[in-house]
Structure 1
Amino acid sequence: MGYIASLHELATTERRFYSKLSDIKSQILRPLLSLENLGTTTTVQLLQEVASRFSKLCYLIGQHGASLSSFLHGVKEARSLVILKHSSLFLDSYTEYCTSITNFLVMGGFQLLAKPAIDFLNKNQELLQDLSEVNDENTQLMEILNTLFFLPIRRLHNYAKVLLKLATCFEVASPEYQKLQDSSSCYECLALHLGRKRKEAEYTLGFWKTFPGKMTDSLRKPERRLLCESSNRALSLQHAGRFSVNWFILFNDALVHAQFSTHHVFPLATLWAEPLSEEAGGVNGLKITTPEEQFTLISSTPQEKTKWLRAISQAVDQALRGMSDLPPYGSGSSVQRQEPPISRSAKYTFYKDPRLKDATYDGRWLSGKPHGRGVLKWPDGKMYSGMFRNGLEDGYGEYRIPNKAMNKEDHYVGHWKEGKMCGQGVYSYASGEVFEGCFQDNMRHGHGLLRSGKLTSSSPSMFIGQWVMDKKAGYGVFDDITRGEKYMGMWQDDVCQGNGVVVTQFGLYYEGNFHLNKMMGNGVLLSEDDTIYEGEFSDDWTLSGKDNSGLIEQVGKCSLLPYFLKVCEALVLFLL
């Protein structure tokens, strides 16, 4: 067949195809969707999606048929053919439609529809049979419907066939030949791929019909496809109880471990599978690692072990890449399978770990543990963003903790080690205090600066010095900026303890020993009038010693108290 004849064949068959799609749309889909009480909300949504994608495909075919008529009256250059020039639009439209109809099929298909819809379909069974080109009168209604709505996929084979005919009209070395040949391969490849997708959907539907009802309701999803399962006892759990039942089901997005009426779902994006060596006692064993579980599966034969390992690895790889196994458009070769990476990016919500229960981690992983940069969020609003190592916060990171009572939050930015604040960091408290310095085991430890309030606030203060286990200890300086008072000296357990110096804005100066925030022991007190008292101070405000005149050798509590209290009032307020 020549070039022009092949183009006429394409135009003619495209118009017929458009006419059939239009009939299905106007005589089946539109009346069906106009009925009330079609079924559950999910069923209606899935059917509406099928109808929407079908309408889009119908419109595309109609436009293509019209463009072919214009093309035949024009220059007729092969490279200007819409089916070549906009091949990605055709391929995407068919893929989207196939996805919607297979999702509908997996969830039960037309059997999900309520009685009014089924009655309508039964009344129009002859029309359905004619449109679907099913000649056997004994064919069941549901089978006719499946054939009818998968009918558009067959058109891809026709595209591939006609494009190949057109290619033979050119020299093998010409660009036109290569373009037509490649496009033909693309359409044929997609047709085969979508055919496999239909079989996967039918296989999955058959599985759901035999699966226990309650678990089906929770596990069944439109996009979920069955890859393989262990009901033939080809796979078992190591060290399982004698009477336990363990059923493993591999879907395209998760590995499910079912036991009697319970089950657990392990998302593939955070699942690692590796074969056990003979030295580890696992001739036919597979080690499965997830963020919160690790278990060993034993296969019945080496062949089963290879089969399951390959199936899991391929499924994990596809889940991580977020794509189907369809080759890239323009390539006739199949995708080279890869072992899923040990290090990967994924999102996971913890359900078991007490520290992380219900928290969601989104970031890098390594062999089942957060490792690298990531974000960890708890339901109560806590959030850590930064580096992880072996499942714990480690490295530089930012941590936020809501304070509901104050309607603010604590905020830490700095270094971490093994899940705890450790090293240099800045902690801003909801109260307004800010600590800059060293941390260890989530506590202030080492040298640091604590600021309370701002310079414009009613009570700004500052401490700079040493900390031990979240308390002031060692040498430190406390400066009460509002009162103009400063303490420089030793601390222990958050109180002044040992030698120190106090200076106030009123000219009072004390240098000596402190005990539990009180001047106690040997010391020198200088008042604002330059009077110096040197001697032994006690916690009942008794002073034994001399003043700078040398006339007072010993001053008792009663004689000194009125004057001494006046002198020390500011110091007492400052220290306490």
Structure 2
Amino acid sequence: MNVALWNKTDQINLISEVNENILKIANIENHLYLLTVTHHLYHGIVEDIKGQQQQLQLQLYQDVQFKDIDSCQKYLYVIDLEGSVFKYNSDLQLLQEILLLNESKVCSHGHCAVKFKMKVESLAIGPFGNLFVTNNGQLWGSGNMPQVGINSTNPKRITFFDNRCTHCINVGSDFAIVVISKQVRSEDTDSDECDEDVFAPSCPHCTFVPSNMNDLSKMEHLDSSSTSSKNSLSTASLGCSRSLLEQSSESIDGNEKVAKNIIFRNTEAARDFLTRQFSWIKPTRIIKENVTNMASFVFEGVKTVGDKVVTLSRHVSGSSDNCDVLEMTEDVSLPRITSKDEFMWSLSQVTSERDNSDQGIQERCNTILRIGMNLLNCEVWTWGNIAHGQLGIGDGIKRERPMIITKLSNVGTRKVSVQGSHAGALTLDGRIYLWGRNDYNQVTIDSSVDQSSPKLFAINSEERFKDVACGLFQTAMLSSQLTLKYIGRQYKTDQSKVTNLYINNMTDNDVQSVNLKGQLLVSSQYLLLNKVGESNNFIEEFTKSEQEFLDDILHVQSNLIKTIIKKTGGSVDSLVYEQLTESYTELLYFTAANVQSLLDYSNGQIPDIDIAIFKYAEEHVYIYKKYLGAINDALSVGALAQISKLLDVSSNLYRMKWNGVSKKDKGSIEEIVKSALMLPLQRLKTYPSLVFKLIVNLQRESRLLDIHGKWNTIVEEQEHKQCEAEKTKEFWCNSGRIIEQFRTSGRRLIRESHKHPIQLQNAGRFSSHWFILLTDILVHVNGSTPHIHDLKSVWIDPPTEDNYSLNQICLKMPEETLVLYTLEAEQKAEWLQALTNAIKVALGLSNTVQLPIIRTAEYTFYKAGFYKDAKYNGRWSNGKMHGSGQLEWTDGRVYKGQFNNNQIHGFGRMELPSVGTFLSFIVFIIK
């Protein structure tokens, strides 16, 4: 048996065999209704046999298939596969259809357009009212809910949540809760395209076509359109076209020519309407110049179907009845996210064709980051009675409008469950929050006081949960180890407040099919569990550890990162802080997407290869490298210490288990900031071993070992780069003001002559020379005067027998030559290697064996002579201008041409500015 069923804590014996997982459960008193994942409805009455276990005999309702059900009082509400809502009695006799009719819109000329019946994806029914989510994400309601402007037995659209997409709806005895997200328009959306054009078939202005368009030759051209255009039409376009044609009323029964003119006129008008409509469809960003052609193709297809143009013409002219109800075809509405599962953005649907260029990786990163952002940035809104704190807003003040539950918004709320007067929420990181009425200890077990704000439920601080469901007087929780807990007392006189109803004893070899939607379902006092086996225990452990990491970085994001963004906007190192916070947020979003993919895998929704850490290994490494670069830049310039001075660190961070720092410790603020920002680095060190275990357990060694190698490489790189950043930070702190001017976030100290001695050949007895090798420049401090040499314009002369014996290194620059020496051969080798590698990196040629003699570089001359203050950009050969280049003086002179051995030589062009004017170009050749 795939399911287990309880009445409170008493298990019910299922006599009938149900080999499917259950999607939804509802009840009318003791009559249970079970909807399976294949849309079959089973129902039966729970029989209470004296002295024996309760039992349930189920029978299949074969007439219709449904995709959602709910019950209230003596009625069952269902949604069929076409999106229509029906009301049944307890014996499954159809009572009525519930219509969701969109309000009649008015065209710009004042004529009423057509009403459409909306298609429904999900519903929530309760004594307080009814909520419906349409297939385009709109929220509708009926009943008495004045807070959202609903006071009608007929469903109406709730305009308060316009421009938001609804993902989860719940109705209790006297309150309602919805989970929504804001709809973000594309950046290229034109403001003038946001207003919807309304086409009214009876409006003479809407159907008016200029006379020059009403030409029979054009109509014949439309009639002779190629069939290839018709075949490429979408059913959505065809359905929309037919609706427009059928809504027009009777046509005159004149001759065939008149009929053709009429249908042509209406076709052109409707085509013009469709042109305007298609132009604002942003999910596919239709090219504007093709919009008119697309609309034409739609009506060409309609006109020529079955050669019934004359017959169709009878339905095309204006009608006085504009309020007829049409059932909108399923494909007419724009595709939007409508259900929670669609909102989770199944990662398996991204294209498998990979562009491994930097741009391709960045584009895929952006897609994954949007997924993670949408997962985390959900809002939880509530309205209704506040007597027992069921609104979760922290007080008992009556509200006239919906209120947002701030504690549950933007933290990755996956699910909200409501029944009676209490509620529970499950977050992406596996935490459960409960609030509301607590007379049976269904919210907290330590007291019976009602909870007016969401309270974290934690018997064991290490425990994570997979699901939560609220009944009338109880709460059921399914832990990550598949242990089912019943929270609450059966009767007020009971002492037991927590009961384990089910403990998973399955082994890795005892694998069953996995539920596709949810594993825990509650209706009133009835509780149902879809029993599943785990394909691999290590997956659950990895998921749990990733959820704990997500929990930690969410705390850092809310208590530190957001504060850094606010407080460091005008500081000197604002760019460093911006890159740090941006990359941290990106890492947070990717972790959220990875956690969701792990949960999807454990629920059987995706294969193991679609787990984000596998499928998007390059993107994960890319995002991690971006954060590593940002944190190392911040470390190198001492930004973490600066953050601790600018901010008041939240006390929440001191309570986190990963820091081990108390407020009384000296320097505790800097330590807590560093520990918080180093969390991703600590997690990074665990990835190679975790990924290796995953690969072994999933038995995919041959394909995924390469991912393990990538994580090993990035860990080794990080350890090396972190040491460089720490060393650079120490150097900047002790270098003095002369050198501080060269401090930038991207520079690292490679070597300096105070710790690694190297001297200048033939230097004066009383002179002092300090050589500092950074990642892009060589600084030579002569006394108190620094000289900067760009490494791109530094050449190293190869060693000869003479200078090799003297441990010399000869450096050539455009205007000088430095001969350096060390006391020991080993020191020379270290300096030579450091200089060579630094120049290679500066030139972007890390993999070359030898330094190139010929290069392209930029240099500004500073010594007296013909080139003083001139900036040269062009080709060089061993420290001298050689080849094509351009010289530009500060007085405006510009020479562009050929150079040879540091001299102007060959074909060139000189610009000589005059007072207020420029002389013409002079072309000359120097022999």
TM norm. shorter chain > 0.5? yes
Q: 1:154 deviation in Å?
A: 2.6
SS in 1 for 2:780: strand
What residue in structure 2 maps to residue 50 of structure 1?
580
Q: Hey, what does 1:303 align to over in structure 2?
A: 826
How far apart, in 1, do the equivalents of 2:685 and 2:885 lie? 46
1:378 corresponding residue in structure 2: 889
Cα separation, 1, equivalents of 2:537 and 2:870: 65
1:8 to 1:380, Cα distance in 2 relative to 1, 3 A: farther
1:95 corresponds to 2:625: yes
In the alignment, is residue 284 of structure 1 matched against residue 807 of structure 2?
yes
1:178 partnered with 2:691: no
Compute the displacement of 1:25 (Å): 0.8
Match of 1:133 in 2: 659
Q: Which residue in 2 is equivalent to 1:82?
A: 612
2:217 is the alignment partner of 1:217: no
Relative to structure 1, is the Cα distance of residues 271 and 15 closer, same or farther in structure 2, using a 3 angstrom cutoff? same
Structure 1 runs not aligned, ≥5 long: 326-335, 415-420, 423-439, 441-576
Q: 1:16 aligns with which of 539, 548, 559?
A: 548
* Residues 398/132 of structure 1: CA separation in 2 closer, same or farther (3 Å cut): farther
The amino acid that maps onto 1:242 is: R
1:76–1:67 Cα change, 3 Å: closer
What is aligned with 1:408? 918
How is 1:407-556 mapped onto 2 (pairs within 5 angstroms)?
407-413=917-923, 421-422=925-926
How far off is 1:303 after superposition? 0.6
How many Å separate the matches in 2 of 1:232 and 1:51? 35
Q: How does 1:194-213 map to 2 (within 5 A)?
A: 194-213=718-737
Aligned in 2, Cα 1:280/1:100: closer, same or farther, shift over 3 Å? closer
C-alpha distance 258-166 of structure 1, shift in aligned 2 (>3 A): same
Of residues 148, 153, 156, the one that matches 2:681 is 153
Q: Which amino acid aligns with 1:396?
A: F
CA RMSD, 1 decimal: 2.8
- Larger displacement relative to structure 2 (145-154 or 202-211): 145-154
Query: Which residue number corresponds to residue 368 of structure 1?
Result: 879
CA–CA separation in structure 2 for the residues paired with 1:282 and 1:410:
56
Between the aligned partners of 1:179 and 1:372, the Cα distance in structure 2 is: 50
Q: Match of 2:921, SS?
A: strand
2:770 is matched by which residue type in structure 1? W
1:245 CA displacement: 0.9
**Structure 2 counterpart of 1:16, one-letter code:** E
Query: Secondary structure of 2:731's match?
Result: helix
Deviation of 1:297 (Å): 0.3
Query: Cα distance 1:138–1:238, how it changes in 2: closer, same or farther (>3 A)?
Result: same
Aligned equivalents of 2:922, 2:538: Cα separation in 1: 71
AA aligned opposite 1:67 = S
Q: Specify which structure has the bigger relative contact order, considering alpha-carbon pairs within 8 angstroms and separated by 6 or more residues.
A: 2
Give distance in 1, aligned partners of 2:702 and 2:895: 54
Which residue does 2:838 correspond to in 1?
A: 315
Instruction: Tell me if the contact between 1:274 and 1:309 (Cα under 8 Å) persists in the aligned partners.
Output: no
Q: Quick one: which of 811, 814, 817 aligns to 1:294?
A: 817
Structure showing the higher strand proportion among its residues: 1
> Structure 2: which 5+ residue stretches go unaligned?
1-506, 509-534
SS of 1:179's partner is helix
Is contact 2:661–2:672 with CA below 8 Å preserved after alignment?
no
Are 2:887 and 2:896, in contact at CA under 8 Å, matched by a contact in 1?
yes
The 3 A distance-change label for structure 1 pair 354 and 72 is farther
Correspondence for 2:217: none
Cα distance in 2 for partners of 1:384, 1:225 equals 36
In 2, Cα distance between equivalents of 1:112 and 1:302: 42
Tell me: CA distance 1:170–1:47, structure 2 relative to 1, closer, same or farther (3 Å): closer
Equivalent pair of 1:277/1:283 in contact (CA under 8 Å):
no
Deviation at 1:77, TM superposition (A): 4.0
Per-residue CA deviation, residues 402-427 of structure 1 (Å, 9 max, x unaligned), is 3343x23331345xxxxxx32xxxxx
Task: Please report how far the alpha carbon of residue 92 of structure 1 lies from its aligned counterpart in structure 2 after TM superposition.
Answer: 1.8
- Paired residue type of 1:284: N
* Alignment partner of 1:388 is 2:899: yes
Given residue 47 of structure 1, which amino acid in structure 2 is its aligned partner? Y
Contact 2:553/2:679 (CA < 8 Å) preserved in 1?
Answer: no
Q: Aligned to 1:154, what secondary structure does the other structure show?
A: helix
1:363 and 1:374 in contact (8 A); partners too: yes
Partner residue of 1:227 out of 742, 747, 750:
750
Distance, in Å, in 2 between the alignment partners of 1:304 and 1:381 is 46
TM superposition shift of 1:224:
0.9
Amino acid at match of 1:156: L
Determine helix, strand or coil for the equivalent of 1:190: helix
Aligned counterparts of 2:715 and 2:676: Cα–Cα separation in 1: 16
1:3-42 aligned within 5 A = 4-35=536-567, 38=568, 41-42=571-572
Mean CA deviation greater in 264-273 or 144-153: 144-153
Q: Does 1:269 align with 2:795?
A: no
Q: What is the CA-CA distance between 1:169 and the residue it aligns to?
A: 4.4
Kindly, what percent of the aligned residue pairs are identical? 28
Between the aligned partners of 1:364 and 1:159, the Cα distance in structure 2 is 46
Q: CA deviation at 1:232?
A: 4.1
Does the Cα contact within 8 Å between 1:276 and 1:286 map onto a contact in 2?
Answer: yes
Mark the CA change 1:34 to 1:369 in structure 2 (over 3 Å): closer, same or farther: same
Query: Which of 586, 597, 600 is equivalent to 1:67?
Result: 597
Residue-by-residue CA offset, 1:499-531 (whole Å, 9 max, x unaligned) = xxxxxxxxxxxxxxxxxxxxxxxxxxxxxxxxx
In structure 2, the partner of 1:250 is 773
Deviation at 1:222? 1.0
1:357: which partner in 2? Answer: 868
Q: How many residues align?
A: 393
Instruction: Please say which structure displays the higher CA radius of gyration.
Output: 1
User: Which of 636, 646, 664 is residue 106 of structure 1 equivalent to?
Assistant: 636
Question: TM-score, length-normalised on structure 1?
Answer: 0.63
Q: Which moved more, 1:66-75 or 1:218-227?
A: 66-75
What SS is found at the alignment partner of 2:613? helix
* Kept in 2: contact 1:284–1:302 (CA 8 A): yes
1:26-64 per-position Cα deviation (integer Å, ceiling 9, x unaligned) = 0122234434xx596213332232112111111121122
TM-score by length of 2: 0.40
